[in-house]
Structure 1
Amino acid sequence: MATQGLPPTFSIASIDAQRVEEALARIGPKWTTWTAMTLAQVNGPVRVRDVAAQLPFVSEQFVGKRLATMHADGLVIREDDRRGAPYRLSALGTSLAPVLRTVSDWSRTHLTQEPMAEAERVEDALRRLHLRHSTAVIQALDSADGQMRFVHIAETAGLDNGLARQRLVRLQADGLVTRTGSRHGDPYVLTDAGQALGAVYASVEHWSQPFALRGGTAAPLPAAAATRTHVGIPLGAGADSARTAAALRRSAAASNVMFSHAPQPEPRVPAAVTAQSAPGRGR
């Protein structure tokens, strides 16, 4: 099943798994997408309490902590260093829109078509991807061009057996990996959803390339420079690079759908999570 906005097939084997995981670690934590979209709706500086007012399903204290983390990761900037100073999206945060669109398209095509808020759809998809070493396991299975036994997955991904097993169990539960049989030792394969992750990984990797993620916080860029970075910079030779550039040009045209959204339904938040985040709206 194809989706018009979904980029064409990409080679998972060609991506830099470490770079992708570093980027996913910044955008994958829960409520990051919701917070970014809330800031984008306002399109200007917003105080923590005003962001929290738009996210009544989590506490103001939690929103403040999430914004502080996003600030450290370069996704938002503050007007000044005063306590309570407002936040706004940085150029790096704004340039996430095409990536989130690709993630949303992948989810809608391969995970669930159940109606839900776009932010919730993206966060559900990123939850399946951002755990450390998950990308390496998926890349190992993709390189097998078919079935792969557990011991070879662990060896190819460079993981000890215990961690490799944990990741495989989680990836199976998330619908990205499956086993070919029920017997001990039966090999693993990527599901259709897992095989289609190339477009997502390529978008995430390309988003991270202009910024020194390995060196720490990315310096904010002027908005015009960020736009040029993601639709016009040379990507190097090769068919995958050309497809990545074309895909990002297409997704850039739809980026406003993600970052200028109409009011969305509240996410399905477990009662335990709501209770845990309820105290402390005093910031």
Structure 2
Amino acid sequence: MKQGSSMAGERRWIPENLDPARPSPARIYDYALGGGHNLASDRAVFEQLEKIQPNTRQMAWSNRAFMRRAVVFMVDSGIRQFLDLGSGIPTVGNVHEIAGKADPACRVVYVDVEEMAIAHSRLLLDGVPNTAVVEADFARPGDVLDHPETRRLLDFGVPLGLLAVASAHHIPAEVDVYGAFDRYREVVVPGSALAISHMTADFERVQAKQMVETVQAIAHNPACLRTRSEITDLFGDFELAEPGLVPPSKWRPDISHTSGGGEEDGMWAGVGVKVRRP
């Protein structure tokens, strides 16, 4: 199906009072993935990004594929509940669909602070069992962890999957991102896991700074590009599962990648596991 083709028909997902001229990072990402929950303003920004970085769409797909593999890894590890931090728009191929294929009883709480992403999410997940949408800034863990919907759906006494996929780079440098992740890691029990993918300027093949500056100028969305070492610190004392922190396409790929080093992904990605300490 052609990107955005559903826009001509079903429009139930569009919230009232939405300003169509204001781009949304969540909808830009949706368009990059070939989704139908985006507007002309979002597609215009994406076209600018493609001029800067021609493989922008492939970058988005590599990141989404990493998320799928990370969720499957967690499910295979026995995890049946998930907290998705900075979830954006939960369109096709998101956490509840991936986990639900393995076990329909899996529970997912989606968290985002962007008003438009929340509005879209609530419409899309209306009537979907074992899911909830929490409007909160995940850089403020108390607002997320103490939210009634989080407490209703998740049990912090059993292993939980934390996901921060392409979201932590939206936390600006002046905010204590490490303190926030410390709190999330503290409240989960051993056997829990944390998946992170994060944009970086470490790779010369990706014009990450120019891409971020373009989105910031148009959508007024903050961002912070962090180094491999800085992203590793977000995992704290969680043990990184093999192959460690790598570009998304190189994290346990479904097929053998025989060419390229994954630098074109423009991100570092990995999954850490909380182990029981003596």
Bucket of the pairwise TM-score, normalised by the shorter protein: 0.3 to 0.5
The normalised TM-score by structure 2 is 0.33
Say which structure is richer in strand. Answer: 2
Q: Which has the larger radius of gyration?
A: 1
Say which structure is richer in helix. Answer: 1
